[in-house]
Amino acid sequence: MHALSAVIRSNQLQPHAELFALLERYRCSSFQKPIARHSRVAFEKAEQLVHECKRPLILDSGCGVGASTVQLAREFPGHFVLGIDKSAARLARHHAYREAAVSNYALVRADLIDFWRLAAQYEWQVERHYLLYPNPWPKKNALKKRFHGHPVFWDLIKLGKYFELRSNWEIYALEFESAFFHCSGTHGVLEKLTPMLPVTPFERKYQRSGHELFRVRILNSSITI
């Protein structure tokens, strides 16, 4: 038997009223937290891989066990897919998802907050960027822990011509889309999702548990690749 997952309950019932003010504060200040040494080492390794493969780049940020990274690599054989996650335990379970015929990808262990800052600094040209089921941090006072409520969001929006976010919490998806519009002037499309074949373990778990799933797709008009 697989464990079911409880539907998200939150004391926040609509997009956070402070979101845009917070993003404006970040726009006017620089994020000072030093980049951890291990993040820089991971980034340098990734930078070398990306440079050597000379293919258009796809990021799978928060890839967990890397199941979606393999699927994306299979779906886009002419691209190079980089899966990034901070959890060594999840990345160590990747062997169960490997496919012998798919090799145009790599997984790196890094903190996305550092990794995205470095990737933006080095002006990475990212064609497609996937954020599949990021931790929702649904308590109202946890807005700053959500990726779109963090100073790094200003860097994140530079890292993709196309973005796809999936979540089982509609408010996260609504906030992400409106934060993206606020910072870049580009709207996305939010829709309910009923995948025939789940692309990640969390998607499978949430679907099996009867959760509604949401997807935001954004074609970032401020980026030309």
Ligand X SMILES: C[S@@+](CC[C@H](N)C(=O)[O-])C[C@H]1O[C@@H](n2cnc3c(N)ncnc32)[C@H](O)[C@@H]1O
Residue 24, C-beta contacts closer than 8 angstroms, at least 6 positions apart: none
**DSSP code per residue over 66-122:** SHHHHHHHHH-TTSEEEEEES-HHHHHGGGGG--TT--SEEEEE--HHHHHHHHHHT
CB-based contact 190:165 (threshold 8 Å): no
Count of residues engaged in binding ligand X, rule: CB under 6 A: 18
In angstroms, what CA-CA distances link 214 with 3, 45, 75, 97? 21, 33, 21, 24
Element holding 214 (H helix, E strand): strand 213-219
20-49 residues near ligand X, rule: CB under 6 A: none
Question: Structure tokens of 99?
Answer: 């496919």
In whole angstroms, the minimum distance from the beta carbon of 71 to ligand X comes to 11
Find the binder of ligand X among 19, 57, 69, 85 (CB under 6 A): 85
In whole angstroms, the minimum distance from the beta carbon of 31 to ligand X comes to 14
Find the binder of ligand X among 64, 149, 160, 188 (CB under 6 A): 64
Does residue 66 belong to the site contacting ligand X (CB under 6 A)?
Answer: no
Does residue 112 belong to the site contacting ligand X (CB under 6 A)?
Answer: yes
Find the binder of ligand X among 113, 143, 157, 216 (CB under 6 A): 113
User: Which listed range, 48-56, 70-78, 128-136, 167-175, lies at the site for ligand X (CB under 6 A)?
Assistant: 128-136
In whole angstroms, the minimum distance from the beta carbon of 221 to ligand X comes to 26
Q: How many residues belong to the chain?
A: 225
The residue ranges that bind ligand X (CB under 6 A) are 62-64, 85-87, 90, 111-113, 132-135, 200-203
